[in-house]
Amino acid sequence: MMHRLALAYLKFGFVLVIASVHATDEIALPPASENYYSPASAYLLTLTMIGAPEDWAANGSEAVFKKIQNGQSEQLWSQQLPHSYRPKLVIVSDQGYLALFDQWINVLGPYAIMVFSPSGDRLKSLSFDDIAKSVEASRANVVKKAQIGSWMESLPRIAASSNIVEVAVAGKVLSIDLETGSLSQN
């Protein structure tokens, strides 16, 4: 009898916990710092959030880019990024090019793709609308088919020793040439 009561109590408590926890609107905080290597670990990008966690949304993040050779790292550039919190995804090529995807927050904003040269120059900045146009899809269709964030249907990929990144968008494959920042559709 006591066991039954205890079980019923636990079940009731579980239901209460589920009911009380699910009614939120929140986004997880990004890691305070995160490293991203190129496929052969020739380059390293470190993203570090600026300030205390409660200020991360306003302060954003700093990117530090390093070249790695014979186990030694040499800083090539660093700069503060304009993304809210920080970029969501990062690709680093073995030639020192860098592509940043989306903002940490899921909005259809101006920083869908940002491409940097090995010296830290911003080669290209593409908005969500630019992406939709490049795949010739309506904005609603791009969002509807997105699996990662607001517009990507797949994770962006780069082949070893390549400067071409591919990502699926609205049923098509978008290629990004990191040397020029140009987009093409496969």
Partner 1 sequence: MKKVLSAVCFVICIIPLQSQALPLLAIDIQPIQVCNNSGGDCANSSMELFEGIGDKIWSQADIDLNFLSWLAVDDSSILNSANHGSYTANANPSIVNIWFIEDLASCGGTGSTATLFGCGGGNKISVTDLVFSFNGGIGRLDTISHEIGHVLGLGHNDFGAGGGNNLMTSGGSRTVPSSINDINPDGAGLSVLTDEQIEEARSSDVLYRVVPAPATLWLVFIGLTLLRLRGNLTSKQLLVKQI
Q: Which residues bind partner 1 (CB under 8 A)?
A: 17, 19-29, 54, 57-58, 84, 105-109, 139-140, 142-144, 146, 149-150
Closer Cβ to partner 1, 60 or 96, answer by number = 60
The least CB distance from residue 63 to partner 1, in Å, is 19
Which residue number, 57 or 164, has a Cβ lying nearer to partner 1?
A: 57
What's the token pair of residue 165?
A: 């990144």
C-alpha angle 74-69-181 in degrees, rounded to nearest 5: 70
What tokens does 16 get? Answer: 């209460």
Kindly tell me which of 89 and 146 has the beta carbon lying closer to partner 1: 146
Return the biggest CA–CA distance within the chain: 73
- Rounded to whole angstroms, the Cα distance separating 17 from 70 reads 53
Closer residue to partner 1 in complex, CB, 67/145: 145
CB of 174 to partner 1, least distance (A): 18
The nearest distance, CB 176 to partner 1, in angstroms, is 21
> Is there a contact between 173 and 108 (Cβ–Cβ < 8 Å)?
no
Instruction: Please report how close the Cβ of residue 31 comes to partner 1 at its closest, in angstroms.
Output: 12
Angle value at C-alpha 85, between 73 and 182, nearest 5 degrees: 70
